[in-house]
Structure 1
Amino acid sequence: MQIVHLYKSLIDDVVAWGGSASLLHVHVGMAIYLAVLMAVRQRRAGMIALQVVLAAELGNEVMDWLNASPDWTWSDTVSDFALTLLWPVATTAVLAWRRRRWRTSVAIMARSGAIPLPAKRHVPIAIT
């Protein structure tokens, strides 16, 4: 339980220094998302980064629950999840939509003959 109290005091110091706890959820969620995107250089990096943000927020909420179990409320937890995951989910959705749209346009161009296909007749896939 000492770790929980240490974590809570550290978070309280960050909130005192940085301002609103709600705003910090938004910023930290997006910062974690972008850091993981830069670290993981794969096509599915957006989903991996989103999972890391979700895991970090779950860990944060468990620590909040352990520290303040009588004062803990579902509304605070749901609000924290929504604020933390809002922009990472939106960014992942846009990236997936653009990737799907790009694949569709490449497939249409390949069928029309504008892009020569290799001998295997596979449509090229984006490498992001």
Structure 2
Amino acid sequence: MSADPSAPGLRGVIDLYEGLKRQYVPADEGIRALIHVHAGLALWLLLALLLRRRLSSVIPLIGVWLIFALTEILDISTQWPVRQDWVWQHAASDMAQSLTWPTILWAVCFWRNRDEADGQTSRASGSTD
């Protein structure tokens, strides 16, 4: 099926997405896994920058989760109804590859920011002695 942007409705969007993916994403699964890891990190940083949020803010992370969930929904929809378990496993693998590092790094930034804020609060309340 070729990507035809003039096709009506959601099917046209899905066809366009699949066509672009086939054209620009290599078929090698190892390279695709690396692309997922790097795309997840890049998107998280880009959203934090564009939204002018700290890396400890949950907003860019939610954006990354939503965008990658949408792309996996588009991937699954091309094979709907899903009759093979590997389709779900592949989608779960893609999500894990894309979201693991942004989520881990967000958690580190969040807890570090929280600890620094707690330290400043305790120093401020301790300085009144």
Deviations 1:10-59 (A, max 9, x none): 11222129972111111111111111110122458631111111111111
Report if the CA contact (8 A) 1:37-1:49 is conserved.
yes
Report if the CA contact (8 A) 2:39-2:98 is conserved.
yes
- Residue 112 of structure 1 corresponds to 126
Q: Which runs of 5+ in 1 are unaligned?
A: 117-128
Cα-Cα RMSD: 2.3
Matched, 1:15 2:29: no
Report if the CA contact (8 A) 1:30-1:84 is conserved.
yes
Percent identity of paired positions between Structure 1 and Structure 2: 29
- Residue 54 of structure 1 corresponds to 65
Q: Which runs of 5+ in 2 are unaligned?
A: 1-10
Report if the CA contact (8 A) 1:22-1:83 is conserved.
yes
1:31 equivalent among 38, 42, 49: 42
TM-score by length of 1: 0.77
Instruction: State the distance in 2 between where 1:16 and 1:44 align.
Output: 30
Report if the CA contact (8 A) 2:56-2:107 is conserved.
no
